[in-house]
Amino acid sequence: MSPGSLPHWSAARRDFDCLSVRNGVLHVEGMSTLDLADRFGTPLFVFSEAQLRENLRRFREAFAAGWPGPVDVLPAMKANTLLATRRLLSNEGAGADIYSPEELEGVLRTGVDPERVSVNGGGKPREHLRRCVEAGVRITVEDVHEIDVIQEVAAELNATAKIRFRVKPALPNLWRRTDFSLLSIPIDLGIQVYKSGIPPEYLREMGRKVLAMPNVELVGIHFHAGRHHPGLWYWEGMMVRLARLIGELSRAWGGWQPAEIDIGGGFASPRDPHNEEFPRSEFVLTALGYPFLVGLRGLGEKAYHSALSRILSVLTSHKDPKAPPAIEEYGRAVTTVLRRELPRNGIHIEGVRLQIEPGRAMYGDTGIHLAKVKTVKRQTSPIPYTWVLTDTTYFFLAGGVFEHNRHPFVFVADPDAPATQTADIVGHSCYADQIVLGARVPEVAAGDVVAFLEAGAYQESSASNFNSLPRPASVLVHGDDAELIKRAETIGDVYGRDVIPERLLIEEARQA
């Protein structure tokens, strides 16, 4: 692979990358992406089996290297709900973080070890809790009254429910800006306004109550804040405050000690696409520049549009993001702080099971999304602009839209072709559908295939059907072969749940 071929800002940080350029064409493992597009059609999600196995291995080893007890990796199912990729992880002995009753059913079908399944989510229905106790999974408690229902269903089943409290420590040490908001808001505030987790004032009483319950065992503590920032300082800051809170709870509960500590997910993936669509400079620039721009109308229409077009290129240009830390660096930072801070707060760490729930960092670089250029559309007046219109849509990359992702992309037949123009790479729904705004692209034409990288997490699992577009197929590459792991939707699937009441059909017939 030549270093200039792929968006490379993170390539140096790992030994294995499923993407490479061979004979001038982008490959996933040993498969040419051109062949994949020919064989399976576009749009298409493509996943690499080798990358997924490699990411799991690295997470395991990185955290085990610094931790005195067992380490479990519980990939977040919401990031990728495909049963084939999930089965692969279950075969490898990975656990799972799941959120809904439906995700629980999905993961249980893949032969996962139930003891390694963390069931998150607020407002869990009684039937779901009953199923959790029956299946023997870990219930991550989010609501104050959940413990009473768990005790009831566990007693009915004559079983012991193993639970953890999902906590939400105060984090005034994390005052820097969260990436989850376009506004300048401290991470601490971002975490506080997120609905998940038990508010601190209930924890002491809930713990005392649970410790006296005959059918419920409090085995640990859970904390997930998400990817507010990719930096190591963010993780170090969270771990300091988490350790302090666990120490306080232990003292309040008569010296209780956790057998398990689950620190959730939120590690950045290697070509971290998160939030690069709207850098802060753009926000500031538009806010300050807006009155000036509008004022330019006084110079006449031509001068106004010419000023707008000049400013546009500034607004839509982006720098390559900084490389996020490698998995090994995250592992070292987290375990170093926990090993130091937990004992300081009276918690014994020998034998404690440490769990992590990576979603984006587990799956992000395992998947790409292939699309074909339908047409290149240009205008020169009143403002020059170019669109590369593709046969996909950002409704198939919806998870990224919510997080303002800026996906790295590659025109697969000639990744080294020099960029000659600025264009928006757009999807074909009737929305603006800007997949990559202000992209620097080579000369491209209808039929060319483009790969959006870092599409393995949250994209396929959040795809929707706007404009009645059938959702694309997914394939799994294994060496120099690829297998279909989810077929594309048909028009029958798209309208399959619709019901036209009989009386409307009769009415239409009468008119005809």
Ligand X SMILES: Cc1ncc(COP(=O)(O)O)c(C=O)c1O
User: Rounded to a whole number, what is the largest CA-CA distance in the chain?
Assistant: 81
Q: Spell out a b/e string for 169-207, using b for 16 or more CB atoms within 10 Å of the CB, else e.
A: bebeebebbbbbbeeeebbbebbeeeebbbeeeebeebb
How far is the C-alpha of 392 from the C-alpha of 374, rounded, in Å? 10
Closer residue to ligand X (CB): 276 or 357: 357
Tell me how many residues contact ligand X (CB under 6 A). Answer: 16
Of residues 367 through 406, those in contact with ligand X by CB under 6 A are none
Q: Is 456 in the site for ligand X (CB under 6 A)?
A: no
Closer residue to ligand X (CB): 114 or 415: 114
Specify whether the backbone of 499 is left (phi greater than 0), alpha (psi in -120 to 50) or beta: beta
Question: Residue 499 is which amino acid?
Answer: V
Binding mask 36-65 for ligand X (x = CB under 6 A): ------------------------------
Q: Which of 169, 258, 265, 270 binds ligand X (CB under 6 A)?
A: 265
Secondary structure element (H or E) that encloses residue 102, with its range: helix 101-108
CB of 39 to ligand X, least distance (A): 30
Closer residue to ligand X (CB): 267 or 409: 267
Q: Which of 95, 114, 207, 264 binds ligand X (CB under 6 A)?
A: 264
Q: Which of 130, 162, 164, 224 binds ligand X (CB under 6 A)?
A: 224
CB of 78 to ligand X, least distance (A): 6
CB of 454 to ligand X, least distance (A): 12
Q: Kindly indicate which of the ranges 262-270, 323-331, 380-388, 401-409 contains the residues binding ligand X, using the contact rule CB under 6 A.
A: 262-270
CB of 81 to ligand X, least distance (A): 13
Which residues, in sequence order, are bridge partners of residue 354?
A: 71, 261
**Strands annotated E in 269-408:** 353-356, 367-379, 385-390
Binding mask 330-369 for ligand X (x = CB under 6 A): ---------------------------xxxxx--------
Enter the tokens of residue 144: 């104050």
CB of 455 to ligand X, least distance (A): 14
How far is the C-alpha of 337 from the C-alpha of 344, rounded, in Å? 11
CA distances from 250 to 71, 86, 237, 347, 425 (A): 22, 35, 20, 8, 53
Give the CA angle between residues 99, 59, 277 to the nearest 5°: 65
How far is the C-alpha of 273 from the C-alpha of 286, rounded, in Å? 22
CB of 360 to ligand X, least distance (A): 4
Closer residue to ligand X (CB): 179 or 277: 179
Residues that bind ligand X (CB under 6 A): 76, 79, 97, 120, 224, 226-227, 264-267, 357-361
